[in-house]
C-alpha cells in the first residue's frame, strides 16, 4: 500500500517542484486542489534563471496541472530554492502638486514629476513657499 503525499499550500508545491520531486502517482488528489498554475508560474519567474522556462511553460494550459508539475519537476534543479516575490512599487500620482511645480518651472507634468524627485521634500517645500502658499496648504500637498 502506497501512502499518498499531502501538499497543503503554495510553499509545499514550490518545494515539490524544486526539492522533493515526488512522482505524480504518489501525490493525493486533494493536493491537486491546492495547485495554482498562475501563482506557481509567477513565483518561479521571480528567479531570473527561470524566466525563459516559465515563458515556455505558460504555453501549457493552466488546467493541465499534472503536466505543468512534471515539466517543472524535470526542468528545475533539485535544490532548496527561495523564490523572492517582487512587488511592483508604484507611487501615487500627486497631480495637484505636479501641476503647481509645472506652473512654477513652466514645464510638462512629466518633467514636474522628475523635478519633485530631484528637489525632494525640502526643495519642493521651498518652491511652494516661494509661490506664496502657506504652511497648511504645503503640508496638504506633500502629504498626498
Q: What is the pLDDT of residues 56-65, one digit of tens each?
A: 999 999 999 9
| Within a domain: 137 | yes
Residues 19 and 66 in one domain: yes
Q: Mark whether 14 and 69 lie in a shared domain.
A: yes
Q: How many domains, in total, are found in the chain? A: 2
- Residue 10, C-alpha cell as written in the block: 503554495
34 lies in some domain: yes
pTM recorded for the entire structure: 0.61
* Range of weakest confidence among 4-8, 11-15, 25-29, 45-49: 45-49
Residues 16 and 71 in one domain: yes
Q: Do residue 22 and residue 70 come from a single domain?
A: yes
Q: Is residue 114 part of a domain?
A: yes
- Residue 105 sits at φ, ψ, to 5 deg, of -90, 0
Q: If you average pLDDT over residues 106-134, what whole number do you get?
A: 92
Cβ density class 120-144: b for 16+ within 10 Å, e for less: eeeebbebbeeeebeeeebeebeee
For 65-96, the pLDDT digits (tens) are: 999 999 999 999 999 999 888 776 656 668 99
Q: Which domain holds residue 64?
A: 10-75
Distance CA 96, CA 141 (A): 7
Amino acid at each position: 500500500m502506497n501512502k499518498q503525499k499531502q501538499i497543503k499550500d503554495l510553499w509545499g508545491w514550490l518545494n515539490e517542484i524544486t526539492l522533493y520531486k515526488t512522482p505524480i502517482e504518489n501525490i493525493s488528489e486533494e493536493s491537486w486542489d491546492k495547485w495554482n498554475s498562475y501563482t506557481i508560474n509567477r513565483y518561479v519567474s521571480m528567479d531570473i534563471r527561470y524566466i525563459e522556462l516559465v515563458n515556455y511553460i505558460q504555453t501549457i494550459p493552466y488546467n493541465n496541472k499534472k503536466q505543468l508539475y512534471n515539466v517543472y519537476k524535470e526542468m528545475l534543479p533539485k535544490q532548496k530554492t527561495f523564490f523572492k516575490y517582487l512587488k511592483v512599487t508604484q507611487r501615487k500620482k500627486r497631480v495637484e502638486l505636479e501641476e503647481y511645480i509645472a506652473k512654477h518651472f513652466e514645464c510638462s507634468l512629466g518633467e514636474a514629476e522628475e523635478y519633485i524627485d530631484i528637489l525632494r521634500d525640502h526643495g519642493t517645500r521651498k518652491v511652494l513657499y516661494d509661490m506664496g502658499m502657506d504652511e497648511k496648504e504645503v503640508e496638504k500637498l506633500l502629504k498626498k
